[in-house]
Structure 1
Amino acid sequence: MREVLQDALQEAGYRISSLPSGQALHELLARDPVDLIVLDLKLDGESGLQVARNVRATSPVPIMMLTGKGDETDRILGLELAADDFLMKPFNLRELMARVHALLRRSKQLSVTLQTVADQGHECLWFDGWRLDLTERMLYNPDNQPVNLTFGEFNLLESLVSSANHVQSRDNLLERTRGTDSNSFDRSIDVLILRLRRKLEANPKQPRYILTERGLGYVFRAQVLRR
């Protein structure tokens, strides 16, 4: 399967490193920049979830995981750990290419934006001492310490904070977070919300900021200033 994916992605013009193990991926990340990781949940002799966790501990690089049909629990667990998207096997190569292209396109757009605003100051959203730096794509807590967010977590938090005190449906959050060309499974937003609560809330089981509106979606409750 690696060979098939390598051929398809190379034909589309991407520079590919096809790797047999998590250790090989770790060694590659230590010496070369990587824009996107496509990772199988079921690896030979090791856990794809553990590999994803190891990557996420040191890098915010987007991760798309490939998973079997009956692995919904693993998909949810994988999102909690690190993954930004999932694709179930067997999959259509055109769908995989579309998702890869969408993730890389958003990353490229971000790079262009950063270069454009580098000399103009950072655009930030503030709430209760927290700072969401939209230019740097970083979250800082009230002690001005950075809070590590994955690609998907940042996109979701930006969407929520930008529309503070307005209820947003799951479908709207999916569209704004991942794009209309990414068919994420239904639980993905719920899992990302859980991950954000763990990083934002003093008590994730009794959230102060990210509230559930039953039957409607989610709302971010705070006074937000944009500077």
Structure 2
Amino acid sequence: MTPVTEALDTQTRQLGAAIRAARLSKALTLVELARLAQLSHPFLSQLERGHARPSMASLERIARALETSQLDLLAGAADLAADDPELLWGPVTVTAGALVPPARLPRRAEFVRRGEGTIGPYAEGSARLLVGARARFQPMEFTGANVVFGDFYHHAEDEFVTVVEGRVVVDLSGDGEFVLGCGDSVYFEGGTLHRWRSAGEGTYRLLIVKQRFQKEQP
């Protein structure tokens, strides 16, 4: 197995585990998720076990069925990899004097350089994660150019959005529509229906910061 193939297989296992965790958090069976995502039960089973790789279209269907985004699933894969060394490195052999791989040693700071960070589809555009796993909140850089609203999104986490380039119209459903320019921001509680589009001036960029729920300690 080449290093590239091995890396792809590792990523496939990570993503499958993240999808399974998201499904269980929604108390859905594989059959129920298959129906909601309009995908086959056997395919989803193989996917969760890391034996299949989803297309972007399939991953989008799964994300919508789980009321999340493709990027959030990719971020979840990174989280699970950080929690489980076998997902990241394969089976780990513990030897005297080497209790954990060096990369898992605790760090107080994490740097993400320009051009780094997980990038994936998000809402009507794409986003780049600005931190890795284990962060207490999830900042991301969002880029979009849509002039038409997409579907409403809602999630349990609180969210903060500030415009760093362009102008956008933010639709908060029953709370109305609001035009935001560069430097403007909005904060909304979890469960709030929301969506946005360009105010007709082309590409826009947002800094989005989402709350992250911490896992309960056993």
Taking structure 2 as the reference length, the TM-score comes to 0.27
Is the radius of gyration larger for structure 1 or structure 2? 2
Taking structure 1 as the reference length, the TM-score comes to 0.26
Higher helix share: 1
Higher strand share: 2
